[in-house]
Structure 1
Amino acid sequence: MRAAVLKEYGEPLEIEDVDAPEVTPDGAVIELEACGICRSDWHGWQGEWEWMGLKPPLGQILGHEPAGHVIEVGENVTEVSEGDHVAVPFNLGDGTCHECRTGHSNTCENVMPLGFVEPVQGAFAEQMHVPAANHNLVTLPDGVSSTDMAGLGCRFMTAFHGLAHRADVGAGDWLAVHGCGGVGLSAVHIGEALGANVIAVDLTDEKLDKARELGAVETVNAGEVDDVPEAVKDLAGGAASVSVDALGIATTCQNSILSLGNRGQHVQIGLTTQDEQGMVSVPTDAMVLQEIEFIGSLGMPPTRYDEIFRMVQTGKLNPSAVVSETVALDDVSDRLESMTDFGTVGIPVIDEFA
């Protein structure tokens, strides 16, 4: 099969013919029809995240936002069958640990980050293998396309979990989203669907225009104001109730916290870069004096995907609205390179693998 293989950090991925995956007793093989290209892939391509143990080894197949059809299942797999249309969450659980058994498989004690570690090769390929298939595969509703659902592997479901499960977003609340990449734009769309008044913050007018299309009622160009938190507070008529750092740099994290009022909630979705290496100073005194909550949010348990699907079926959510373009497997390196200067808008999705 064809796959895009990491040979050197920061260099174009090599399109190679590699062995197709073999099914294990508890696993399933998926024929890929779509895979999003995520900024997390960019971090792996750059050889970052070694401080989290997520620096992909050379020879790895990246890609962690897949959708496709099951073509083979192991002898112990009972929850999916050949022909099923599925999405694959990036944070694969083992299905047996305490976290998985209590509905928190996104924080599995033996989590396998899809496309970042050798045992789980990623989805920049014609086929991929999914371990613990009974636990990890999500069957998609009838009538949806793999391209439209690709963001459910990471960015869209990550934003949904952060806002719908981890934070307390209520009708009419002011929600600030700092960083309008794929996960930030997803958060804008989801926040609006949950009834919040969304303020989108970014440095790029094109991304802010897209945020308005997806439901933002106000926008802030961070490069055109002296004080981003004060600009957010002015637009909110006081302060934001919930604020999201969807990027992961020190500036957006700090601005997000400082955008909040008393008992506000900061949701950290973006992971840090080589500059921060997991450590960001925060306005501790303000957090104490205002009783601000700092909430971490990672992925989403597959058992809760039906909440997204019900909102899609009733027209409240449209994951395809965040998809910006479709490309071929051969184009993946160009899209990763464009992310170096934040040159993509929305979610690019591979829909041609052969």
Structure 2
Amino acid sequence: MRAIVFDQFSVRPQLRDIAAPTTPAAGVVIDVEATGVCRSDHHAWSGHDATIDLPHVPGHELVGRIASVGVGVEEFRIGQRVTVPFVCGCGTCRWCLSGNAQVCPEQTQPGFTHLGSWADQVVIHHADANLVAVPEELPAAAVVGLGCRFATAFHGLRARAQLSAGETVAVFGCGGVGLSAIMIARALGAQVVAIDIAEAGLESARTLGAGRTVNASGLSPDELSAEVVAQFSDDCPDGVDVTVDALGRADTIRAAIGALAPLGRHVQIGLLPEEPVIDVPRVIALELSVLGSHGMAAADYPGLVELVVAGRLRPQELVTKVIGLDEAPEAMEAMSVPAVTAGMTIIDLGR
């Protein structure tokens, strides 16, 4: 099969013919229809993930059809159209059995723990616990992002922060995850303010549902907190209900926690290179909640898919570029340079 392969970190990957995968006992092989180009793929290629063995195939956001099923797979069949969360559980531990496979100690991740979806085919382990059936009518562009950025944002806002309609949300960072969080917050009926230093990102945020935006350029964390609170001062003078850090910076986390109202909830999605300093006295005094979101279990996908089928959430609006597999090496290298425009690139395996 065709696959994008890299033998060294940070060296341009290549399109090659490699051996097609064999089907694991409890898993499946999927013919990839389309797959996403995600910042996490770039981190893996750059050598920032200790789970990567070389040579490697990136890719963890995907939609496709089951090509073969292993012995023991009962819930899925050959030819079925599916997607999968980027964190796949073992299906048998207490975390998986409670519906929390995203924190499974024995998790697997295509594109990280094993070869990924920038290829004609990809293996998914423990299929019954991890596959998600996809309606035929949904375009690939509406499905690919559900594997990572939209799932992480949805889980963070609905399951972790328990966001309710009418509440206020401040999203720090208007990249892929941040824009997904904005779209999901609006779909859930919240009021949203988006924060970034790039006007292109803020413009995308406005287009995708943010009612207010703040350009953080030149603002200290305390000044940024005050500016965010001011956006809702007429209705919520004490601060916002939920903040999301989709960037992964110590200063944005400080600003986000500083903008929360009493009993507010902060959702941390952005990964950080080092441990940040959190204003713990404020967390204690206002009884704030600091919550992490790391993907989402397949068990929680029906609610997300329902929003897409109903048209309340349109992930395809985040897609700004569709490329073929032969263009993927260039797309990987391009992520080394800060993006001028916000949006999502997907790889169409049929091009």
* TM-score bin, normalised by smaller chain: over 0.9
Distance 2:57 2:172 in 1: 30
Alignment of 1:312-351 (within 5 A): 312-343=308-339, 345-351=342-348
Q: Quote the residue 1:204 is aligned against.
A: 198
- Give the Å deviation of 1:185: 0.3
Q: Quote the residue 1:310 is aligned against.
A: 306
Is 2:59 the partner of 1:72?
no
Alignment of 1:127-276 (within 5 A): 127-223=121-217, 225-226=219-220, 227-237=223-233, 238=237, 239-273=239-273, 276=274
Q: Quote the residue 1:29 is aligned against.
A: 29
Distance 2:332 2:261 in 1: 37
Q: Quote the residue 1:11 is aligned against.
A: 11
Distance 1:210 1:103 in 2: 34
For 1:284-335, what per-residue CA distance to the aligned partner results, in whole angstroms no more than 9, with x for missing partners? 2221222211001111110111101222222211111122211122222332
Is 2:23 the partner of 1:20?
no
The one-letter code sitting in structure 2 at the alignment partner of 1:205 is E
Name whichever of 262-271 and 108-117 sits farther off.
Answer: 108-117
Distance 1:300 1:164 in 2: 11
For 1:37-57, what per-residue CA distance to the aligned partner results, in whole angstroms no more than 9, with x for missing partners? 11111111111144xxx4x22
**TM-score, with structure 2 as normaliser:** 0.94
> Contact 1:225 / 1:231 at 8 angstroms: preserved in 2?
no
Distance 1:136 1:254 in 2: 35
Aligned length, in residue pairs:
344
Q: Percent identity?
A: 39
Equivalent of 1:62, from 55, 58, 64?
58
> Contact 1:243 / 1:266 at 8 angstroms: preserved in 2?
yes
Equivalent residue of 2:206, what SS?
helix
For 1:230-268, what per-residue CA distance to the aligned partner results, in whole angstroms no more than 9, with x for missing partners? 110111212111000111122222222112121111000
Equivalent residue of 1:232, what SS?
helix
Alignment of 1:99-138 (within 5 A): 99-117=95-113, 120-138=114-132
Equivalent residue of 1:3, what SS?
strand
The one-letter code sitting in structure 1 at the alignment partner of 2:349 is E
Equivalent residue of 1:265, what SS?
strand
Distance 1:170 1:30 in 2: 36
> Contact 2:110 / 2:123 at 8 angstroms: preserved in 1?
no
- Give the Å deviation of 1:224: 5.1
- Give the Å deviation of 1:110: 0.6
**TM-score, with structure 1 as normaliser:** 0.93
Name whichever of 247-256 and 100-109 sits farther off.
Answer: 247-256
Equivalent residue of 2:263, what SS?
strand
| Cα RMSD, aligned residues only | 1.5
- Give the Å deviation of 1:353: 6.0
Where structure 2 has 5 or more consecutive residues not aligned to the other structure, the ranges are none
The one-letter code sitting in structure 2 at the alignment partner of 1:31 is D
Name whichever of 313-322 and 190-199 sits farther off.
Answer: 313-322
Equivalent residue of 1:305, what SS?
helix
Name whichever of 96-105 and 304-313 sits farther off.
Answer: 304-313
Equivalent residue of 1:75, what SS?
coil
> Contact 1:35 / 1:147 at 8 angstroms: preserved in 2?
no
- Give the Å deviation of 1:71: 0.9
- Give the Å deviation of 1:147: 2.8
- Give the Å deviation of 1:161: 0.6
Q: Quote the residue 2:90 is aligned against.
A: 94
Equivalent residue of 2:231, what SS?
helix
Name whichever of 336-345 and 29-38 sits farther off.
Answer: 336-345
For 1:88-118, what per-residue CA distance to the aligned partner results, in whole angstroms no more than 9, with x for missing partners? 211011111111111111111211122112x
- Give the Å deviation of 1:283: 1.4
Equivalent residue of 2:202, what SS?
helix
- Give the Å deviation of 1:272: 1.6
The one-letter code sitting in structure 1 at the alignment partner of 2:17 is D
